[in-house]
């Protein structure tokens, strides 16, 4: 199982999306979780940790943000997500 396939098998996942810019070699992942504990369990899962280890040599820059959105919304567009990463409001 790859890191792209694995979120669907995780407890607490609501949804996930992957965006890959080619050429340019940029990759983004966006996930929505029922709760922080589910998200943290995935972040610490063997498949996620293996992906981080495997990609560390090719990853020049990494940014992470956690955003809380209303339960009724549960959807963030890629332009909105990228704006969060570029904002000072993002929690890292």
Secondary structure (DSSP) of 11-60: TTEEEEEEEEETTTTEEEEEEEESSHHHHHHHHTSHHHHHHHHHHTTT-S
What's 71's domain CATH number? 3.30.70
**What local confidence, expressed as pLDDT, does residue 47 receive?**
83
Mean pLDDT of 66-88: 79
Residue 92 lies in a domain: no
Q: What is the dihedral of CA 20, 42, 76, 24, to 10 degrees?
A: -20
Segments forming the whole domain that contains residue 34: 6-86
Q: What is the pLDDT of residue 37?
A: 93
Total of domains in the chain? 1
In a domain, 55, yes or no: yes
pTM for the model stands at: 0.68
Res. 1: pLDDT tops 60: no
Q: Is residue 91 part of a domain?
A: no
| Range in 25-29, 38-42, 60-64 with the lowest mean pLDDT | 60-64
Q: Is 80 exceeded by the pLDDT of residue 74?
A: no
């Amino acid at each position: 199982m790859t890191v792209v396939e694995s979120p669907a098998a995780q407890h607490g996942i609501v949804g996930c999306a992957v965006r890959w810019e080619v050429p340019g070699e940029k990759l983004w992942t966006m996930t929505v979780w029922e709760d922080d504990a589910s998200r943290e369990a995935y972040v610490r899962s063997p498949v996620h940790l293996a992906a981080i280890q495997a990609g560390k040599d090719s990853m020049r820059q990494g940014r992470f943000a956690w955003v809380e959105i209303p339960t009724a919304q549960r959807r963030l567009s890629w332009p909105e997500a990228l704006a969060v990463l570029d904002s000072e409001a993002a929690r890292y």
